[in-house]
Amino acid sequence: MSAVFLGLGSNVNTGPNICAGAAALREHCDSVAFSPVYQSVAVGFEGSDFINLAARIETALQPLELKQFLNELEASHGRKRDVPKFSDRTLDIDILLWDDLYLRLPELTLPRGEILQFAHVLQPLADLAPQLIHPVEKVSLDELWKQFSGDRAGLKRVDFPL
């Protein structure tokens, strides 16, 4: 079994979509845990605020198999792939970290670069696994959050039932 960290987000029909994504992870994965939930402003486009969180799962799937499962889960909740990268999302689930795997494929990069770029990715991840060492940066997620120099504006923790 591999320990995998995911980022979940939505800014369209957020309650039902995030809850359905969380339920699907609980149903199909082992040892599922979730971070606190954050509200964040849309990045790269004008849109409604996002709900973001991180999840830790255990899975026997291989990375591309899990990516396929997540893509199908997103699609079943109305995710469109023929839109700009920065646009509204019904359900967005990204693989962020996979054990200490370093992987560079056209369809999957691990660890995911957005961890170091966006507060709405790093903060929930650091909340969920503060002592986890980033496989490339070689420092804990908590330390990465403390050192984070990107935009933290518009990120706030919210009560959100999962």
pLDDT at 44: 82
User: What single string gives the DSSP state of each residue in 11-52?
Assistant: SSSHHHHHHHHHHHHHHHSEEEEEPPEEEE--SSS--PPEEE
Q: Which two tokens stand for residue 35?
A: 């971070």
Q: Which two tokens stand for residue 3?
A: 């320990």
| Model pLDDT for residues 20-67, shown as the tens digit of each residue | 999 999 999 999 999 999 999 988 888 899 999 999 999 999 999 999
What whole-number distance in Å separates Cα of residue 101 and Cα of residue 36? 25
pTM of the predicted model as reported, rounded to 2 decimal places: 0.95
Domains located in the chain, CATH noted:
2-158 (3.30.70.560)
The partner residues of 104 in beta bridges, in order of sequence, read: 109
The partner residues of 131 in beta bridges, in order of sequence, read: none
Q: Hunting for tokens 């804990």 — which residue is that?
A: 140
Cβ of 41: how many Cβ atoms within 10 Å?
A: 16
Kindly state the DSSP code that residue 104 receives in the 8-state scheme. Answer: E
pLDDT at 87: 74
| Model pLDDT for residues 104-115, shown as the tens digit of each residue | 999 999 999 999
pLDDT at 46: 87
The residue with greater pLDDT, 33 or 78, is 33
